[in-house]
A and B are shown apart, each in its own frame.
Chain A
Amino acid sequence: QKEVEQDPGPLSVPEGAIVSLNCTYSNSAFQYFMWYRQYSRKGPELLMYTYSSGNKEDGRFTAQVDKSSKYISLFIRDSQPSDSATYLCAMSRGGSNYKLTFGKGTLLTVNP
């Protein structure tokens, strides 16, 4: 079993839809849970992060972590064509452990 599992999609939705992206993981030592966004032919950039369990909201984006189920989600409300990208979940133990473990990424297309 891979440490981090993510459905690669692709996922295609109409503009304005609510998008749900998910990852599961097996390593209970992970403390920081991140979502990176990667546009085509670009490097990934950090979109949001959550420490331990709980929710975090930033504009149209909401990140959720359920450590008991080892399951994390990213919700995008009122999706826009500019949200079309690959979304990668990433996790780390935090502190002095610098290693990020990524999911495979989900390719999202928002159609106008």
Chain B
Amino acid sequence: DTAVSQTPKYLVTQMGNDKSIKCEQNLGHDTMYWYKQDSKKFLKIMFSYNNKELIINETVPNRFSPKSPDKAHLNLHINSLELGDSAVYFCASSQDQGTGLIEQYFGPGTRLTVT
């Protein structure tokens, strides 16, 4: 069983379009994340939700809007797509075990190409 899954795996779209990426985790974790990995492999946090509450909101254009309908799902909607949005978007989840370490489990990624 896939622990953290994302759909779609690949997304090719034109500038100006609106698209969504979906993420689901079956690990029973309380916290979910969205990361962006650019062409140089730099992985940067965008958002995080803990029990459906937004806890991390980095400096991201407001064209990006996360939504968490329940703690097992975290979706990312992107309006008015731009060329610079082309990247791989990773979803991750974690569970605070009270040890101080927050181990994050990553999905397989969604490769977004904006033309």
Contact = CB atoms under 8 A, between A and B. Distances in A.
Main secondary structure of the interface of B (DSSP, over half): strand
B98 to A, nearest CB: 9
B109 A98 contact: no
Given A98-B50, A99-B56, A92 B40 contact: no
B108 A43 contact: yes
A99 B43 contact: no
B104 A104 contact: no
Interface string A75-108: 0000000000010100010111011111011010
Interface residues of B, number: 27
B100 A31 contact: yes
Interface string B48-74: 101000011000000000000000000
Interface string A22-35: 00000000011000
Contact of A94 (B43, B56, B102, B108): B102
B103 A46 contact: yes
Contacts of B31: 98
A62 to B, nearest CB: 18
A32 B106 contact: no
B111 to A, nearest CB: 8
B45 A99 contact: yes
A42 interface: yes
Nearest to B40: A104
B44 A102 contact: yes
| 6 closest residue pairs by CB, A with B | A43-B106, A94-B100, A102-B43, A105-B41, A104-B42, A44-B106
